[in-house]
Structure formats: C-alpha cells, structure tokens
Amino acid sequence: MIDTKEMTYFENTLLSLEKAYKRLSTKLTDQDQSFKDLQKYIIDYKRELDKFEVYDYQQTLSMIDKQGFAQAVEREKIKKLIDSPYFGHFDFVYDGENKEDVESFYVGRFGFTDDDGKYLIYDWRAPICNMYYEFELGEGYYEALDRRFDGELTAKRQIKIEKSEIQYVLDSSLTIQDEVLQQTLSAHASEKLKTIITSIQREQNKIVRNESAYNVVIQGVAGSGKTAVALHRIAYYLYKFRDTLRAERIFILSPNKVFGDYISSVLPELGEQPISSFTLDEVTGNLLSSAVTFTSFEQETKHILMNSKSDLAKRAKLKGDFWFVQKLQAFLKELDNRLLKNESISIADVEFTSDYLQGRFKAYRKEPVITRLVLMVEDILNVLKSKRNGEGKLPSKNEINKRLKKRLLFTTPLDIYRSFMNSLGEDLFHFSKKHFESNDVYPYLYVQGYFKELKTYELVQHFVLDEMQDYTPVQYAVLAKVFACKRTIVGDFSQVLLPYETISKEAIETIFPGLEYVELKTTYRSSYEITMYAKKFMRRGDIHPIARHGKEPEEIFYTSVKQMIKMIHENLSNTSKTTAIICKTEQDLEVIKQYLQVPFHIIDGKTEKFATGVLLTTIQYAKGLEFDTVIVPFVDEERFTTEFERGLLYIATTRAMHELTVLVDAQKPSPLL
Ligand SMILES: Nc1ncnc2c1ncn2[C@@H]1O[C@H](COP(=O)(O)OP(=O)(O)OP(=O)(O)O)[C@@H](O)[C@H]1O
C-alpha cells in the first residue's frame, strides 16, 4: 500500500513534468517553423539581400538551431523522467530546526524544477543526494558551497517507478542494499552495461564522488563494478565541473572494440554525451611515426596466450617487468653524462669548453635532448653577443645547433634504444624492415620521449584506463607522459591475461606518485554459488559474494571431444539466455566452431558490437563482459595447470551471472579443479 503523501507527490511531479514536456514541444515546433520561414525568406530574397544581411540571418539560423538542439535534449530528459521520475526519497531535518520543518528530497536520474523554481527532483549527483547513498537513518550531513550542513535523516525510501506507475515503495532503514539491489542483479545480461544509480553502494559512491585525487586507482575483484564506477565517476565529474569539463575531452582506454561498445551507453543513459573509447593499438598508431610499422598489442597477446613458452613470449615478459623500465631509466640517466661528447667547440672565435657545454646540457636535463640543444643555442648566442659587444656577424641558430648535434654520441632514439638493448647482452630486439614487435614499441617510445618530444594528448582532461593489469610498467611510463591530466585507472591484479606479472601495486604507485588507491572486494555480478566456486581460482586477495542465490556450478566430465560438443549442445538447449562458450585459445574456438549446430556469434578482435544469444569467444575477448550462462570447455591438464592458468579460469568463470558449466576432460582433468 502506497501512502497518500507519496502518491500525491508522485502525481504532482508527473503533472509538472508533463506540462514541461508540452511546453518544450510547443517551443520546438514554433522554433522549427521560424527556422523554416527564415530559411525560405533568405532563399526567396537572395538577390535583394546584401552580404551583411545574409550573414546576420545565418547567425540567427544557427542560434535557433543551437537552442533547438539544447531544448530537444532537455525534452528527451523530461521524457525519461515521465517514465521514471525518481528512485529515492529521503527526509532531512537540518540541525537547529524543529522536526516539523523536515524537508523531503527526491532523487532521480536528472534534476527537475517546477514553474516556481522548486526542486521536485534532485539529480543523483547533487551534493545533497550524497546522503542517500552514504547514510542510514540518523545523523547525516552534506557539503555544498564550501559549507557543511548537518542534520538528521528521518526517513529513507526506495521507489520503483516504471512506465509512469509506481511499482513499489520500500522503507529502508538499512543502506540501499537488499531488495532493489537483489532485483537489479537478478536481471538477465544485456547488450550494454547498465547504469547503477538506483543502487550505488557506499564504497562505490565514495569513489564516484572523490574529487580530491588526481590519480585514482581502483583495484576491484571481478564483478565489483569497477567499470560501472569509473563511468559513473565520469558522469559525476561532467555534472560537477560542467563549466570546464567537456565530454569530448575524456579519453577511455579500453581493451578492445567490443568492450568499448559494451560500455558505450552508460553515459548517454545518464544524459551525458557519449565518450569515445580507444584501444592501446590506436594510441600507438598515433604516437609512432608512420615511417615504421608495428605488431599490434592485441595480436602479440594472442600469440603469447597460444605459445606462452615461445621466444617472443620471453622477450615480451622481460620488457613487461618493472625491472626493465627501471633499468631503462637508469640507462638514460647515465647516458646524460656521455651523450654529449666531452669536447670543446670554438664558435665565432669564442671557445666553449667541454665543462661549460656539459653544464648547460645537464641543467636542462628535464627537457628532451633536442630541446636541450635548442636552449643551449640560445645560451651560446647570449655569450657570443656579450663577448663580441655587438660587433661582427654571428652564426645562425641553425648552424650552432648542427654543430652541437654533431657532438651527440647517438643521433636517433632508435640508436639509443638499440644500444640499451645491446647493453642487456641478449638477442632481445627484433627490428627489421622498419617493423617493431609490440613489446618494443613502448620502450622505444619512452626513449623517444627522452630524445625528442612525444606527441601528447594535451586536450584530454580526464583519462580513464580499464583492465589496468594488462598493461606493462613501461607502457604506463609512456602513458603517464602522454596523458598528463586527471586519471581514473581500474583493474584487477587477479585477472592478468599475460603469463607473467605486468603491473604491480608497487610499480603503479611509483609511476603515478601521490595516487589514491582504493579496493572493492564485493562482487555484484555472479550468484553466491558461482562466486564461491570461482574463488578457488583467485590467485591473490579475497572476494566477497553477494547473497543472491542461484544454481550450483557444474563440472561435467567428458571422454571425447565429440562427447564434449554434445554436452555443449545439451546446455544450450536448456537456456534461452545469453550463453558464452569461453575457450582458452583461438585454436580451441576453431574446433568448437566447426561443430556448433546452433546460430551463434563470435566475439574476437574483429567484433565491433556486443550481441546477445549464443556467443563463442576466448578469455582474451570475454574480459570485462558478462553473460547469463558460461560454459568453459576443454578444462584439461594440458590447458589449465599453472598458476597463470588458474588466473585464466578465474577470468572465465567470473563472467557468469547465473549459471556456470565447466567441461572437464575425464582422462586428464585439470589439477586446478
Ligand atoms: N551497486 C550496484 N548495483 C547494481 N549492480 C551493480 C552494482 N555494482 C556493480 N553492479 C553490476 O555488476 C556487474 C559487474 O560490474 P562491472 O562490469 O562494472 O564490474 P567490473 O569490476 O568491471 O568487473 P570485471 O573486472 O569482472 O570485468 C554489472 O552488471 C554491474 O551493473
């Protein structure tokens, strides 16, 4: 039974929303007509109008167009609010006021005020709404306009409204846990990651609203909402800093295209502009000169996953180690002492001693080598000017620069990189026909940044990186230079895709000094049973399940590939939901693909859109995604034995929301089970 006060508020809000919708629609129709009339007028009187008049009219057209666009966006938001105006309600009494002066606040996807300017709905990101996510009944406070407002929360309710009808109102004396969360989590997998504003949990809310940290690193177990939190944090920032932050200046680095598509609708759902996401290979293509080519990071990862003992895997492992970037940094630091040869130069009859030149070269050590030379040219010219008292012709900047360059021990970043690799004493650098292996690209770019400028993404205001555990320290060292802005970095050290340690907490803290490191330990994706099963594959840390119960995961034994394929089909016939068959490698995928007799989609490097239904994929591409049901085939001794392979099983099994089947080779079962 919904109380009358709640019902009256709802009806009044709905009326106000509908009124606002009608008003905006009328305005838009009128504007549309004015636009067309003016356009027609310009065409009809083209010959009589002078160019200034045409210019003025065009300006007016563009203004009407812009206003129309803003109003159409506003109307779209109101339409969404009419469907579901708010999801939360709380009552608050400010300290020093009487209980009768209690004020009610309604929390919704967007804010809305009535004709008198009264807030009927508060945007979930408004400062006051922090209390909805943060506090239980009792004392509470919020901060706004640099002030803190204390008081008491006397009521808190969760309200579900769909298609302009109240479904239920729940008094919650606890946090926003329970019912709403349970309901949300029991839903089926969808093609896109959904917003979680109705049930953001306290520890997630803290990250979303954290404004102080320049670099935030979120380490969260599988399914803890890291990606969702990172995107809601962006939505929060776009709201809070709307005068200075622009959606097109936010950069998301995502593991692959399909993941980018999967997360693409969260921000538009929250009323913000979509944000493009890019893969590391796209960034590399932009940073590296077009005169060279490179093996993509994605291809190399695929190769290493299939051949973890290959020489290429060994080279990549070495360069993925924190030790490697430290060694490279030390090499470059030491190179500063010898890169400029110890020779004096005589320019326009003035002698510049080796000590002087070395001193200047080192004074500018924070700059790339090429910039240092430019600055030294200025110094040299100043000395020449003072010594020559303005008499005689001075050499040009270009000439002096050339003479300095001739004294460099290495004249290209490639020579420096080659020399560094030689110093390691092994055959670790494979560069032929101007082609880099992926494992050399970022070390090389690091050296390039030392020698000459690196391209930077100066316009980017906020950098978001997902799946942090898949990038190496040297990649981070370059990305830190290239994206010198606020950063939100999320991932899970237990979900490493490569068969060696890439980034560690220690390394990331060294590369991004002063970062704020937060951990999320509760998983929301998988049922209690699946989480408890997947826990045994976790390589470090702990994972807390949510109390949503479901079917026990099944380990089914097969004696032949034929039988295994039959089992897959049996599983598929039992479900109409989104089911992913997640293979370890592409070779396994190819085997299953041959025999699969139901319609299915493949998710691989070429996939641009995430689909539902039966999906066939590999662990590499299933990362970050979720499915109602997961089938993990070929779980045998050959494929899943090492600690690294344990981690792969953790990634695969934690993709499942409701059901999980692990197909085990009866003759040689994986010892990890
Ligand atoms: N507070 C919440 N309320 C409702 N659903 C939530 C909440 N937090 C997370 N979820 C849901 O949990 C699922 C996992 O979220 P998400 O993909 O962001 O997790 P993740 O930590 O990035 O996972 P992984 O590392 O395994 O890829 C999603 O379906 C998301 O909507």
For residue 654, which atom of ligand 1 is closest to its CA? 26
Q: In 258-292, which positions are buried (b, 16+ CB within 10 angstroms) versus exposed (e)? A: bbbbbbbbbbebbbbeebebbbbbebbeebbeeee
Antiparallel, parallel or unpaired: β 462-465 and 147-162:
unpaired
Nearest residue to 197 via CA among 189, 187, 205, 207: 205
Residue 317 CA, ligand 1 centroid: distance in Å: 30
Q: Which atom of ligand 1 is nearest to the CA of 220?
A: 21
User: Is 647 annotated to bind ligand?
Assistant: no
Question: Among the ranges 347-356, 520-529, 568-577, which has the highest mean pLDDT value?
Answer: 520-529
Which of ligand 1's atoms lies nearest the C-alpha of 200? 1
Query: What number is the average pLDDT over the span 387-415?
Result: 86
Is the distance from CB of 469 to CB of 492 less than 8 angstroms?
Answer: yes
What is the DSSP pairing of strand 147-162 with strand 165-171?
A: antiparallel
More confident residue, 563 or 539: 563
Q: Rounded CA gap, 16 and 622, in Å?
A: 45
Task: Report which of residues 258 and 668 the model is more confident about.
Answer: 668
Per the prediction, the chain carries an average pLDDT of 89
CATH of 546-665, one of 3.30.2020.30, 3.40.710.10, 3.30.70.260, 3.40.50.300: 3.40.50.300
Cα 77 to the chain's mean position, in Å? 25
**87: three-class secondary structure by DSSP:** coil
pLDDT digits (tens, 9 = 90+) for 625-646: 999 999 999 999 999 999 889 9
Distance 83 CA to ligand 1 centre (A): 25
Asked whether the predicted pLDDT for residue 267 surpasses 50, the reply is yes
Please identify which residue in the block is written with the tokens 């830190």: 480
Q: How far apart are CA 285 and CA 195, in angstroms?
A: 32
Q: Average pLDDT, stretch 147-174?
A: 88
pLDDT value of residue 177:
52
Residue nearest to atom 29 of ligand 1 (CA): 525
Total Cβ atoms within 10 A of residue 627? 26
- Measured from CB, residues less than 6 Å from any atom of ligand 1 are 181, 184-185, 193-194, 196, 199-201, 204, 220, 222-228, 492, 495, 524-525, 624, 626, 654
> C-alpha angle 662/663/665, rounded to 5°?
135
Do residues 229 and 133 make contact, with C-beta atoms less than 8 angstroms apart? no
Residue nearest atom 1 of ligand 1, based on CA coordinates: 200
ipTM: 0.99
Q: Does the structure show a pLDDT above 70 at 178?
A: no
Task: Measure the CA–CA gap between 154 and 132, rounded to whole angstroms.
Answer: 12
d(CA 505, CA 369): 31
How far apart are the CA of 193 and the centre of ligand 1, in A? 8
Query: Model pTM?
Result: 0.89
Structural element, H or E, at residue 490 = strand 486-491
**Domain map (residue ranges) of the chain:** 4-175, 340-407, 546-665
Distance 195 CA to ligand 1 centre (A): 10
Q: Which of 194, 254, 626, 627 to mutate to test the pocket of ligand 1 (most atoms within 8 A of CB)?
A: 626
CB neighbourhood size of 456 (10 A)? 14
Task: Answer with the residue of higher pLDDT: 254 or 172.
Answer: 254
Residue 223 labelled as part of a binding site? yes
